[in-house]
Homo-oligomer: A and B are copies of this chain.
Amino acid sequence: MARAGRRPGPTNTPDAILAAARELFAERGFQATTIRAVAASAGVNAALVHHYFATKERLFVAALNLPLNPAEAIVNVLAAGPREQFAERLVRFFVSTWREPATGQPLQAVLRSAASTDQGAAMFRNLVENVLLERAAAALGVPKLRVVVAMSHLLGLVLGATILQIEPLASATDDELVELIAPTIHRYLSPDS
């Protein structure tokens, strides 16, 4: 683990771990990739991977360059107020996430890469199937298919509003979007619907 130089850069330890993680996750998928294998491939001790990224799931989210952990975000939004207004909070949170440059730009990059490269698609599929779906479906008490359909709706909106910049979607107000879309997300993600 000797460092060749003093300046931080693409050769520092967290970046080396992330590069190894991206390669292994893309090649083997989320389930078959271990922290130990990532550490070995990066030439570091597994304890150091845990030190920087805590869990395999967080390492994966970091390797994808995601601005946030979508499973944690759903659980947090769920806990932030009454269940009856969960869909409204989620849509508002999601619209501001894609409109805020610090989170919107990495989100667009992930989406572009998922839509245009096989490796990007595999990473994204792994994220949804292994990190997001199980936990979100359990926390919400709805079947996984409903979670994927709701997520696809939100992804389609990001695509239309930011990458394709289709009007009048791109410049609709947050309130217009919440009013239109929250009832749909409520229907998809409520256990009683």
Contacts of A181 in B (CB 8 A): 149
Across the interface, which residues of B come within 8 angstroms of A172, CB to CB?
145
Query: Would A156 and B152 count as touching, CB distance under 8 A?
Result: yes
Give 16 pairs: A residue, B residue, CB < 8 Å, sorted on A.
Answer: A111-B115, A112-B116, A114-B163, A115-B115, A121-B163, A144-B168, A148-B166, A148-B167, A148-B168, A148-B169, A149-B177, A151-B160, A152-B166, A153-B157, A159-B159, A184-B187
Number of identical monomers bound together in the oligomeric complex: 2
Using A115-B116, A156-B159 as known contacts, say yes or no to A180 and B129 having CB atoms under 8 A apart. no
Q: Given known contacts A112-B116, A114-B164, A145-B176, what 5 new A-B pairs fall within 8 Å (CB)?
A: A116-B116, A129-B166, A148-B166, A152-B156, A155-B160
In the complex, which residues of chain B have a beta carbon less than 8 angstroms from the beta carbon of A168? 144-145, 148
A128 near B166: Cβ-Cβ < 8 Å: yes
Expressed in whole angstroms, the Cα–Cα distance for A177 and B169 within the complex equals: 24
Nearest B residue to A148, CB-CB: B169
A146 at the interface (CB under 8 A from B): yes
Nearest neighbor of A114 in chain B, beta-carbon distance: B164
Residues of chain A touching chain B, judged by Cβ–Cβ distance below 8 Å, are: 111-112, 114-116, 121, 124-125, 128-129, 144-146, 148-149, 151-157, 159-161, 163-169, 172, 176-177, 180-181, 183-184, 187-188
**B188–A180 CB distance below 8 A:** yes
Residue of B nearest to A121 (CB): B164
Query: Which of B125, B145, B159 makes the CB contact (< 8 A) with A152?
Result: B159
The residues of B that contact A111 with a CB separation of less than 8 Å are: 115
Residues in B with CB closer than 8 Å to A176 are: 145
Q: Which residue of B lies closest to A132 (CB)?
A: B166
A118 nearest in chain B by CB position = B163
Question: Complex Cα distance A157/B146, Å?
Answer: 12
